Structure 1
Amino acid sequence: MNDVASGGADISRIVLESSCDALGLALLVCGRDDTILYASASMLQFFPVQPHLLKPGTRLRDFLGGVYDTGLRPSTLPENSRRRANREDWIAEQMGLHWRERYESVERAGRTRWICLRKRRLSSGIGIVSISDVSDQKKREEQLQTDLERVELTEQILDAQPNPICVKDRNLNYIAANRAFCAIHDVAPEAILGRSAWDVVDAELADRFDQSDRHVLATGRPHSEAEHIVRADGSDLWVVTRKYRVGVPGRHFVVTCMNDVTDIAAWYHGAEDGGSNSGLQIRDYSIFTPAQNFYDPFRALNVQQLVETGSMIETLPARGLRVLLATADSGMEARVVARLRGSGLDACAVRNHEELEAFAAAAEHHGVKLDILVLDTAFPAREAVYAGWKTCPVLDVTPDADATALLGEIFRASTDRPPPRSQFPQADWEVSFDGDAAARTGASEVDVLVAEDNQINQFVFSQILDGLGVSYRIAGNGREAVDLWHELQPSLVLMDISMPVMNGFEAAAAIRDAESQTGRRTPIVAVTAQALGVDLRQCEASGMDDHIMKPISPDMIEALLRKYLRAVHARLTA
């Protein structure tokens, strides 16, 4: 009987050992009776058991017991944990796993080590266990998960900030943008990330942004600038923009933080007690350079309203219609009369039947003929008015009627006959009813005179000013603006630069020339589609006080009223 192993067996063992070393594996082979047939020497690197427990013929149960005693057993808590698995229960569980046809898991073995266990039970009953160290891979996965969680937390923190923040890479492409920054453009982050400023803002501004960004990247010195931004919804945003360089050499980034100073720039004491008439405004608008205007007035307009009032837009320059509103509602009176006057109609109101009769008598006495009587459906003695009124057509209107829609109805009602031209100016037929009927003389002042030749822009101005409750008139060219300035003596002039007959520069110069004889100075604000240096110099040379860029927004106009018409603003907020 020969107890010596064959030479072929030694060669097989050497091959297995070499393969395990090359692959970084530990290999354990068990027979059908759960005794060890082969164990690679590398098993001791994973489980520091007594060497005799790995010899062929050792029971698998004894080997598992030795692994348990080392404290480095898989699928248990680290050795410093107070929780200890029962020895026999753990051995029984592992024996069951060894008899599965297939089993694979990644388990902790100690405080910082992770191993991958792969177990196979062949049809012959032989079981094979391979063990590999995946600690580095696990650490990378954990680090990646930690980084992802950190990034997610950082994004949540950035999104919670009220100030717009964005990050650009060294190619000046956006790689991060918080919710406040995206809200300026009214787009989702996906529409900004991966793009540059040239894809988001005008070319002139994109070039300016690139210059400051590259300066920050090259020098590492922060950049600061005060800017005025108009959001996509038309609201104003006054910010102090600061840019910083972060990162390491060769991997720098530019972080832009826009500190919102809209609510803290200045406090306007509309009332001494700081009550409801108080508000916030910018103390010095000159420190802000024009930035991007994302407001689109055409997108903001009510399309259905445009369709319904299409004839009104076509006949907007028409003037001379005389309209009388009969209503006992003072709020409706202020809203409708201001809207009609702002669109070039001569309009006033009466509040009861007696005033209506007195007005009719006064108008007849002065030779003034009315074109339309707008009658509130809630007007007292409405039936009596219908029975006795023969002067002009009557339009019914509800107290909550839209003033713009009413304007369209008035134009439609008057299209069949041309409006009569009276020899009396508007001021000669306005009647006051503080007791007896009496004609009022003197110029009829308005808050704002708008000089704009484009009819759509005229409609945008009228929508905004009507919404602010400001009285206004619209001139279709520079010559008409000068004439209306002489007639109405407005408190503020919004002057378009490019107009027929007489442009905005010439009209402003004519107004300033006329004012030199009176000592009175009306604020004139240029309205231009560009902010080129030559235009701004021409504005100043022609006597203009300020400028705004198209497209205009409601907040932009309200800011002008706050700046130049303090008395009007106080009245509007009273």
Structure 2
Amino acid sequence: MNDLASADANIQAVMLEVISEGISGGVFVYDRNDLIVFASQQLLTLLPVPKSFLTPGTRLRDFLGAVYDGGGRFLTDASGPRRMLSREDWVAEQIATLWKERAESQERRGTDRWVSFTKRRLSSGYGVCVVRDISDHKKREEQWRADMERVQITEEVLDNLPFPVTVKDSNLTFVAVNKMAASFLDLPPEAILGRKGSDIHPPQVEQRLDRVNRGVIDLGEPQQMSELVTRPDGSQVVIIANKYRIGKPGRYYLVTAMEDITGLVATEDGQITPRMSRGGLIATSLHRHERDRPVQTAVEPERSQLSHRKVLVASSDPRTSAEALDILADLGFDTSSVSDGEELELFLQLAKEASITIDLVVVDTLADKACLEIVQRHRIPALAINGVRVKRDLAAGVARQFSQPAATEAGREEDWQIASRAGENAAIDVLVAEDNGVNQIVFSQILEGLGYRYAIAADGEEAVRLWQERSPRLILMDITLPKLSGFDASVRIRNLETIDNSIPIIGVLPQAFERDRDQCFASGMNEVILKPISPEALEAVFQTYLGIPAKHSYA
């Protein structure tokens, strides 16, 4: 009979240990005589007591005294007064709380350790105390309080700014507006938040703004726009709108800050001219006498080489087309423009019938996706450029294009077979795994402009093979590859590596879906970037993973 009782006691002790592990805390049970009946081993990691004080039959007074002697005397919760008690007073206070039917407390040990005590007194006279380390919870709670305070301060600052500020998420839905923005739009904040620009602006205005906004969100390139705006009340104001992107991949936000400069300009027939002359400005120099920094300039071909060249611009945005035509005209080109793939096809066909040679087609990557494919089919050199960066990138891109040796007619067929800037067996800097022909052209032009040696693989199996043969320093991996997906190709490369994660693999995603990001990291990729690809995005990757200083050849 005694053996059975002993077995039952052992089973109960094992069950309590399992429960203790399951709740990630320590448990001790005591009887009505204040003797410990059971104490789990987890208490040793939570309380500074020798193991001998956890044996059944130990007096609670002795157990608590050992806690006190080991430096475990607790300060009260931060919300209450801090006290330091004598050994006897502290032990007596703890025993008193253990006799309560129900008691909970959070107590601090040292500067960054918090422990919670949950105490229950059962009707049978037995008591149970659960001890948990809640340091992480406390840190999160304190961080949450700090974040909330920071948010409140930020909201207060935004609301009191003297100019309108709006914030949109990656879907271009308003998520924040300040008081001045609501006043500017002549709407209450609740009529703006949660809505898109199409719910507020006229269709023709939103169509133009949507293109610019998406360019900023996708590429991270800040934009500045000057606008003559007619407000809902009929008044006209001249504003400068600065747009920039904040956040992290997959969670980007678009911030627009508008400044009213009506008092500084004059408007006539829709034209904006400054009222203040340069002589009316106070000249201020912030030069710190640092050594002069070298200024990089794009190498442009002689104008005489360009005067009879014919360049066609393909863009669905009239403003982009106008900017591009002005820049090309200043460089001496003979220019024209089309707005979509259908017009482009007709124009090139008519040019061919009239024996007119088109030397270059500048394709806005935000326009009709078929345009690059049409140009490729007609075997005409193309320059893919993002419409929102025409002012900055077009002149340098065209200069690079016409500075390259002219291709012979016999070699023109090979021009459209995207190849590396290195020999067939030479080592390369970057391996691009991309099956889409248009995207291959974009990658090629960017990498050539930045001066990197590269190779392009059209499927996952070729990507693995070229990695083995060409020893790239970094891989840009599209996830939707034929034969072997980008995820599977990454896993295979990681399995074949002799040194774990020796080569950075960067996933290239068409959209910012969390499941794709998670699968990229699960397959061994180091980072992800989003399409459409920009020179800035690639250089940021190269600086991070290859330690290569920015070249800025695209500027």
Q: Which TM-score band applies after superposition, normalised by the shorter structure?
A: 0.3 to 0.5
Structure 2 length-normalised TM: 0.45
- TM-score, structure 1 normalization: 0.43
Q: Which structure is higher in RCO with an 8 Å CA cutoff and minimum separation 6?
A: 1
For the pair shown, which has the larger CA radius of gyration, 1 or 2? 1
